[in-house]
Structure 1
Amino acid sequence: MKVAVLLYQNMRHAPFLKFYERIFQETEGVDYDVIYLDRHPELNEPNDEHHIPISWIGKDDHNIFTKVLSGATYPFRAKKILGAKKYDFVFVLTTMPGVFLANYLTHNYFGKYLFDVRDYTKEYIKTYFNAETRVVQNAAINVISSPEYVNFLPPADYHVCHNLNIPDSEEQPARFRKSSSERLVVAYVGNIQYANYCMNLIKLVEKDERFEFHFYGPEGGSLEITNYVNALNNPRITMKGRFKPEDKEKIFGCSDLIFNCYGNDNNIVKYAISNKYYDAAYYRRPLIVSPDTAMSRLSDRFAFPIDLKITGNLNSLYEWYGRIDSEQFEQYCISVIDSAAADNSKLEKLIKDKLYECR
């Protein structure tokens, strides 16, 4: 059978694609194409019979004009490819291509597409929400990356797909051991964003000799954090720059706490599950999170919630870390990984069964 995957981004920026590709590769008789929006042609991603780019109009994918123009022409270009290839099943990753192609999908692929939601997008717009409602009501399977997305999505039967990327290694990560040093190392791992929250913690760490704060990853835009940290010239607060995936184990290994504190003032950060939730559990490191978020609720007492807008010192964080029960935290980390793997396994079986039915 012929399967299409619709991506509204580059493949490199869609790690969840690997979950679906593995299913296709393990399912006999499935031939699949990835139709992706080439927002970053400098990545030189494949352009062949099975990897079909839809070009981004313009050079800057942050420019509002090019965003509108690319979005307006996307449905016509995507439908042209889908119509020419005549697929049996479509995997819609993520919300934007689903909404843009709502009428086409519901009429041409009724009950023969999977709809995957990874983020809060434009659900506050009535016409957008109505289109999304039609998509979820007529999908064969609806997938979400966080169970709390039901708070803003149309009512439907949703299945959770966790962004669980366990290293391909038979070795188990080291068990949790609290730092033997009096100084705790906080790490920001990934693309550097949420400058206000980062700045707030930097200023608290600057005044507190018990902590270090290290940034691993690139910062775009005005480089506000990078410039501020460089000007500080404080050896306890540093920018480590980009890193390779294989460096992640070392980064987590030399850190005591993982920063995942992005506020709770919008649905994007309030309901999402960060990849750091799984990474921190796998590498056995506690998280710093914002209160009243999915991350805080899921982690419960095994992450430290802190409101960086009002917190004046890091005393509570330091004392909390000292009270962590190592054995209880170890069991918590195991349960996070095992539970996520079980959910993904159930979804994988469901997808394989549905593909078999649609042959």
Structure 2
Amino acid sequence: MINSKLSRFSGLTLCILFNLITLTFVEEVLSVQRDKLGYSNSAVAQTASEQIARSVYKKATQAVVTVKDGRGHGSGFIVSQDGLIITNAHVVEGSPSVVTVEFPDGKKLPADVMGFAKGGLDLAVLKVQKQKNLRMLGLATEDSAQVGDRVFALGSPLKPQFKDTFTQGHITRIKKSDGEIQHDAPVFGGNSGGPLLNTKGQVIGVNTRIITGSSFKTNTGMNFAIPVSKVRSFIAAARKGDVSQTSTLKRRKQREFIPISLNGQIINDKLAKENGFLNLYVFQGKAGQKVVIDMTSKNMNPALGLYQAIENSGVRNYQPIAQNDDKGAGDFNSRITTTLPADGVYVIEAKSSTRGQAGDYSLRAVVKP
């Protein structure tokens, strides 16, 4: 009886061992086959979420451009194969009638500023001529966006060299009164006019403004986009020529030149949408004076320009003397050090290096011996 039980136990043990050896062999064979086919652990671990993000980027990247007007930059996106481009009004407000659009591959094309949305809507339309087969973005159906939806932003944040930057987040709020989309996909100045996309790579909004933290590099997660319903209506109006030839953004009355002395006194001021994100200061200078102008801020990226006012036949023109964006590597404040070429009136232009960025700043100007 004992021998019989031992015999059955031994047989069972051998059977289990055989199965384990067989499974090990099969796993080794499968592992070898995966290696031969080029599979890797990272590829096997790729999630559906990653696949969606990559698909959206691949679909959208060639249809998003950097918009440059010689003074600053923003983003835009193509909505027709023949070169119709949507951007923010504040990106091209006050620009020449022709701006430059740059594609992710570095190709640059001239684009006509065709017009602006009416009623104070922050949208403008550009047109690249003699194009037939440009990549374009489709528009999502109206009211398809919901709080909690995953979204993607594509554009040129901060500086043109950061073009084709792709970020993602979620819709955190939709304003009931006008459908404005609030989201937390990281965007910064320079993203203005770029698309906000859904998981299908369709446009659900146009990124238009942000709220920044204590540093201009800090995104609070409170970013806002014009909803696709308004974008669609604007495109339809633009095709009919029903656009304004000038920006209709609401602004306060044009600010007068603010006097500034050259004694180093600090002026605290701010840039805001109401003043066009720009302040102008004026002083009387003398030939040979070495002037140092500083603009500092904790919540935006300052930029300075210095111009000489020149009267010619009763018309005042402004000749550029010096410009500065960053003082140096890692220092995003702005400083101009220059020698004035002649006696006369000079104007300091205080703004942000990224169009549409608001914030507080301090300004001082001093003559060095």
- Common topology (TM > 0.5): no
Larger Rg: 2
With structure 2 as the length reference, what TM-score do the two structures score?
Answer: 0.27
Quick check: which one's strand share is greater? 2
* TM-score calculated relative to the size of structure 1: 0.28
